[in-house]
Chains A and B, each alone.
Chain A
Amino acid sequence: MSTLVQILSPDFLLRDALVGSVLVGVVCPLVGAYFVLRRMIFLGVALPQLSAAGIAFSFVGYRLAVGAHEHGNVSERELAMLGSFAFTLGGLLVLTAFERRGRETVEARIGVTYAIAAALTILFLAVDPHGDAEMVNLLKGDILATTRTSLTLLAYVLGAVVLVLFAFRKEFLLVSFDRDLAVVFGKRAALWDGLLYLLIGITISLGVMTAGPLVTFGFLVVPPLTARLVTRRMLSFSLVAAAIGGAAAFGGFYCAYRMDLPLGPAEVALASLMLIAVGAASMIRQGVARLRAP
């Protein structure tokens, strides 16, 4: 109880990290809901890894184009953000463009993308002699290192993502559920797809920068899968997924702080436990309903 009081107190030392964690936990599932519904879950693994490769590449690219970077002469976070966003969005656009040409090898393409991205991340880090601990932290997404400035940026950008997601949710639903109908209605399906991918790219870039690829993937996929088991409507599905993500982020932070565990894995493990518990309860409920059926 005292740990909880400590965490919730306004002058808690890691307050920014806690808020950042919960923000990522709430917003990633809102975007991830579309990953699950559009059956793009594997993209949720490949894109955060591409984002990480983009972060590593930005430093190598800077060194090759401009020269060695020292702390202070270039903002590492801005560089990393640029690389992360460019790789994520670029990869997303290429993969979805190929997806339209045939679904039969989509898993293979995503698998290859993941393998390439993971290899490139390590190679880029090895090539840059300035690939110091701070860069490695950026790649891991060291959420405990969240500063007030980065938290403010995170809050504004993710806030804007949420606003756009809710403002255009009927368009996103229509192009996701029945793209043909959207075209028949004269809606610009490609434009709405593009906007959704942009929101996905932004969220993943920021998520990886803040919390790392593992946490980003975990929160993109696990809370929506849990919410899918207990909701019947689109709006409640999104809201419950966000609530589960936020709760898992907060609970994971609490467990990590209390038991001195690594934060990201603790959050994802808790979200996964929630999925297992809800899944088991759902199976039991269905079994009981089947037994009671005449």
Chain B
Amino acid sequence: MSTPALALDDVTLGYDGRAVLKGVTLAVEQGEFCALLGPNGAGKTTLLRGMLGLLPVLAGRIEYGFDRRTSPPGYVPQRESLDPIFPLTVLEVVLMGTFARLRPLQPAGRRQHRLAAECLAQVGLDAIAKQPFWALSGGQKERILIARALAAEPRLLLLDEPTAGVDPGATVAIMDVITRLNRERGLTVVLVSHQLRIVRQVVRSVIWVDDGGAVKGTAEELLSPEHIADVFGAVAARG
């Protein structure tokens, strides 16, 4: 059995020394497509930030199935966290992903530009490389941020609600890109989402965050109408 892409062993995560999630033990296997779900305020983003190394681990251990220094994870943040005051073209945003493997004083050269163009092509937006990033629609911006994450040449891709606030057509396009990356490139994907109906169609496993902890199981098990009704009520279970 191969080393998991990501393994959490009795992990406690929180802010300012206060635990939000305690005793989290789970593993995400190589090539797995996993959704990180749970009610609002349960700690989904806390767990994702812990997985990314953005939050210090208060107790326990997080291990990666790859060398984080040479191959950092790909990260797609919520697009609202980025400030539109920055004058950036689409290509400049995607090129930022290549900075992961560049040393200080090493400029983004031809290889990095070629890689950025390839990543843009993978998300189907290579034709708009020179356009201002902020002029794009929400769905296009998300795909550009996915391209930026790919430009880091990651083995693990973590996405924070990539389909939040985008129209249904764009949601389908985004999920299609992520599913293809998982199936065709074997990229391990962890995706935070609120949209159970969409997630149910594409993921095989689910990390369920609730009550100060997190459990991992199959999508059939954790997204069963009984479990959803138990957490959200009968209306959500029918969605």
> Interface of A with B (CB < 8 Å)?
36-37, 39, 167-168, 170-171, 173-174, 176-178, 180-181, 183-187, 228, 231-234, 236-237
Give every chain B residue within 8 A of A168 (Cβ-Cβ).
Answer: 104-105
Partner of A234, one of B75, B88, B104, B107: B88
A237 to B132, CA, bound (A): 13
* 8 contacting pairs across A/B (C-beta < 8 A): A170-B102, A173-B96, A177-B82, A177-B96, A184-B73, A233-B88, A234-B88, A234-B92
With contacts A234-B92, A237-B87 taken as known, whether A170 is within 8 angstroms of B107 at the C-beta atoms is yes
- B92 A233 Cβ-Cβ under 8 A: yes
- A185 B152 Cβ-Cβ under 8 A: yes
Across the interface, name the chain A residue whose C-beta is closest to B132: A232
Dominant SS at the B interface?
A: loop
A76 to B73, CA, bound (A): 53
A232 to B131, CA, bound (A): 8
With contacts A37-B83, A37-B85, A231-B87 taken as known, whether A181 is within 8 angstroms of B77 at the C-beta atoms is yes
A99–chain B nearest beta-carbon distance, Å: 15
Give every chain A residue within 8 A of B6 (Cβ-Cβ).
Answer: none
A-contact bits for B202-226, CB 8 A (1 contact / 0 none): 0000000000000000000000000
Give every chain A residue within 8 A of B68 (Cβ-Cβ).
Answer: 186
Give every chain A residue within 8 A of B89 (Cβ-Cβ).
Answer: 232-233
Give every chain A residue within 8 A of B238 (Cβ-Cβ).
Answer: none
Give every chain B residue within 8 A of A37 (Cβ-Cβ).
Answer: 83, 85-86
Across the interface, name the chain B residue whose C-beta is closest to A36: B85
Across the interface, name the chain B residue whose C-beta is closest to A181: B75
- B88 A178 Cβ-Cβ under 8 A: no
Interface size on B, residues (CB 8 A): 28
- B72 A184 Cβ-Cβ under 8 A: yes
B229 adjacent to chain A (CB < 8 Å): no
B44-77 residues with Cβ-Cβ distance < 8 A to A are 52-54, 68-69, 72-73, 75, 77
A232 to B91, CA, bound (A): 12
B78-104 residues with Cβ-Cβ distance < 8 A to A are 81-83, 85-89, 92, 96, 99-100, 102, 104
A34 to B42, CA, bound (A): 36
A178 to B132, CA, bound (A): 17
Give every chain B residue within 8 A of A186 (Cβ-Cβ).
Answer: 68-69, 72, 100
Give every chain A residue within 8 A of B77 (Cβ-Cβ).
Answer: 178, 180-181
- A174 B99 Cβ-Cβ under 8 A: yes
A232–chain B nearest beta-carbon distance, Å: 5
- B87 A184 Cβ-Cβ under 8 A: no
A-contact bits for B103-134, CB 8 A (1 contact / 0 none): 01101100000000000000000000000100
Give every chain A residue within 8 A of B73 (Cβ-Cβ).
Answer: 184
- B105 A39 Cβ-Cβ under 8 A: no
With contacts A177-B96, A232-B132, A233-B92 taken as known, whether A184 is within 8 angstroms of B75 at the C-beta atoms is yes
Partner of B86, one of A170, A177, A181, A184: A177
Name, among B100, B102, B108, the residue most crowded by chain A CB atoms within 10 Å (CB to CB): B100
Across the interface, name the chain A residue whose C-beta is closest to B108: A170
- A185 B82 Cβ-Cβ under 8 A: no
- B96 A178 Cβ-Cβ under 8 A: yes
A37 to B84, CA, bound (A): 9
- B88 A177 Cβ-Cβ under 8 A: yes
A187 to B132, CA, bound (A): 26
